[in-house]
Amino acid sequence: TIAGETDHLTGIERIYEDIGAGMDIIESVPAAIALVELAKTQPMKCAMLAANLGGDTDTIGAMATAICGALHGIEAFPEEHIQRIKQANSIDFAPYAQRLAGYRFA
């Protein structure tokens, strides 16, 4: 299986070749789930793998890394990365996260 790959390069090559990495949902969603498994749910590892996948990298990477982040929480991301994203986007993501969490517990 792809999830059982110990070599990440082989894993992302198999995702690209066997599943595909295109914009169609039939490829992007399974590719994102495969990346989550290949990264063993670790958000930073998942983001790095996704960046090297090819194809619709940004969409697949966003889905896969979001799943990993949801599993591990914000603590899984280095503070310097969080600050860089906040500065680059001029957005405070805390209110969005709080609203999303509110839906979960509603």
HSE, CB side, 13 Å, CA atoms: give it for residue 1: 7
Whether residue 1 is annotated as binding a ligand: the answer is no
Write down the residue that tokens 């999303």 correspond to: 100
Whether residue 7 is annotated as binding a ligand: the answer is no
Write down the residue that tokens 């996704």 correspond to: 50
Whether residue 56 is annotated as binding a ligand: the answer is yes
- Helix ranges restricted to H, the chain: 8-14, 25-38, 43-51, 57-72, 79-89, 94-104
Question: Which phi and psi angles does 52 have, rounded to 5°?
Answer: -100, 5
Which residue ranges are tagged as binding site for Mg(2+)? Answer: 56, 58-59
Binding residue numbers? 56, 58-59
